[in-house]
Amino acid sequence: PPPLPAFPPAGGGAAPLSPSLLSSPLPTAPAAAARLCSGAGGEAEAAGGDGAMLRHLARKLRASGPVTVAEYMREALTNPGQGYYTRRGGVGESGDFITSPEISQVFGELIGIWYISEWMAMGKPNTFQLVELGPGRGTLTEDILRVFKQLASVLSKCDVSVHLVEVSPKLSEIQAVMLTGGKVQPNPEDEFAYMKGISKTGIPIFWYRDIQDVPPGYSFYLAHEFFDALPIHKFQRTEKGWREVLVDIDPEVPDQLRFVLSPSRTPATQNFIQPEETRDHVEVCPEAGVIVQRLASRIEKDGGAALVADYGHDGTKTDTFRGFRNHKLHNVLSAPGTADLTADVDFSYLRKMAQGKTATLGPIKQREFLKNMGIDLRLQVLLQNSGDTATREQLLHSYDMLMNPEKMGDCFNFFALLPHHRLVHPGKKDKPESKSPLPPVAGFNELLLK
């Protein structure tokens, strides 16, 4: 057969990107195996897997040229047939990375208390939806629902329902087993949900593929290690102006991928780079922006709050795109579909995308947030109640994982969207003395549960 046209076409194609352009060192996954923030330095694990996704991508790249990093990431993670989350799921000790709720039950319990504290501060509305984006194995929801059950007397007059936004069929199955014991109804006719069931604690649970399918109404949103999994665009400043980083097939090595630079500006370079940008390399996650806009609009209209927890920065970092497989760093371009791909969340971008529809709080470091939420007291209670040394050691070890600045304490952040009236009395400007002060928002301040 005639040789397939190689990209770049002679003269005017994409320029290969020298590794030095993406200069920050690859991060290393610590022995403890959480996906920590970028910049720790270290070696990436080599390729593997059955290659089905790579062959699919290679065909596509040969036929129509390089794709954006966002498109590559979307294919690798959520392609309906071969995507990483679709097939493997990844989360947990036996998976590729471990997350805070999988490390300690205390994490989810304190988040459950955060929602109750906000529900109380907002005047105890008689119904709310808990909406979780990307619930993984369902552990966080399970821990939150346990708190709701323990505080049933407080919530007794409140009608609570759970709404999970999950694209992965494999993970939604795991969530169903965890939360309902597997008793779920697929494709319920009366709902936009693709599955529904009842939690072991008696709360109705619904599953959706998209936040837009979740019914409107007073809602508490939760996104833990969700935004970091959404596709990013990458941009590089050059002498000729901004160029987008693309993924291409390497003409020298069969079925190997490489980064190249777009030969000219792309629609994304025009839309996503701020004129005042000072960095030389920028990552933008438009999908995260769209979701935050939706959350902010929904909270503005129907009330509630959103809590976002993830590793990230406030618009300062550059190259944070990385892969994880079997708890080790993995080259992002090798064996796509077999490794988790992730990038730090840019909280300054999320704040901007809320467009003033809600107030925002944070980002605040995980160790400060959990400390404010009373993690030390909770640890003491659990230590006192545990008889055996192994459990006590496990409790102390997981506390250290969550709180130690060198582990997850510093690089994970909490960020919240709240209705403006939650932070400032509507009439405050005119009559500053007229109302009692609003209760502080827990986590971002010390928890004061009355």
Burial code (b: 16+ CB inside 10 Å, e: under 16) for 27-54 equals bbbbebbbbbbbbbeeebbebebeeebb
Q: Is 35 in the site for ligand SAH (CB under 6 A)?
A: no
Using alpha carbons only, how large is the chain's radius of gyration in Å?
A: 23
Q: How far is CA 279 from CA 236, 273, 313, in A?
A: 9, 10, 14
**CB-nearer residue toward ligand SAH: 165 or 418:** 165
- Are 47 and 331 within 8 A, CB to CB? yes
| Binding span for ligand SAH by CB under 6 A among 60-68, 149-157, 167-175, 395-403 | 167-175
Q: Is 165 in the site for ligand SAH (CB under 6 A)?
A: yes
| Binding span for ligand SAH by CB under 6 A among 22-30, 37-45, 131-139, 312-320 | 131-139
In angstroms, what is the minimal distance from the CB of 257 to ligand SAH?
Answer: 21
Which of 70, 91, 257, 359 touches ligand SAH (CB under 6 A)? 91
Q: Is 193 in the site for ligand SAH (CB under 6 A)?
A: no
Dihedrals phi, psi of 229, to nearest 5 degrees = -90, -5
CA distance 308 to 168: 20
Which of 14, 58, 229, 246 touches ligand SAH (CB under 6 A)? 229
Segment 101 to 130, residues that bind ligand SAH, using CB under 6 A = 101-102
- Concatenating the DSSP letter of every residue in 334-401 gives SSTTSSEEE--EEHHHHHHHTTTSSEEEEEEEHHHHHHHTTHHHHHHHHHHH--SHHHHHHHHHHHHH
Segment 422 to 441, residues that bind ligand SAH, using CB under 6 A = none
- Are 234 and 282 within 8 A, CB to CB? yes
- Are 343 and 318 within 8 A, CB to CB? no
In angstroms, what is the minimal distance from the CB of 232 to ligand SAH?
Answer: 12
Q: Is 99 in the site for ligand SAH (CB under 6 A)?
A: yes
Q: Is 226 in the site for ligand SAH (CB under 6 A)?
A: yes
Q: How far is CA 228 from the centre of its chain?
A: 4
In angstroms, what is the minimal distance from the CB of 102 to ligand SAH?
Answer: 6
Element (H, E) at 270: helix 267-272
The residue among 25, 32, 24, 27 whose CA lies nearest residue 409 is: 32
Segment 56 to 85, residues that bind ligand SAH, using CB under 6 A = 78, 85
Q: Is 168 in the site for ligand SAH (CB under 6 A)?
A: yes
Which of 65, 66, 95, 134 touches ligand SAH (CB under 6 A)? 134
Q: Is 310 in the site for ligand SAH (CB under 6 A)?
A: no
**CB-nearer residue toward ligand SAH: 135 or 303:** 135
**CB-nearer residue toward ligand SAH: 225 or 283:** 225
The residue among 77, 52, 76, 72 whose CA lies nearest residue 61 is: 72
Q: Is 167 in the site for ligand SAH (CB under 6 A)?
A: yes
DSSP annotation of 251 reads: S
In angstroms, what is the minimal distance from the CB of 333 to ligand SAH?
Answer: 20
Query: How many chain residues bind ligand SAH (CB under 6 A)?
Result: 20
Binding site for ligand SAH (CB under 6 A): 78, 85, 91, 99, 101-102, 134-136, 140, 165-168, 171, 224-226, 229-230
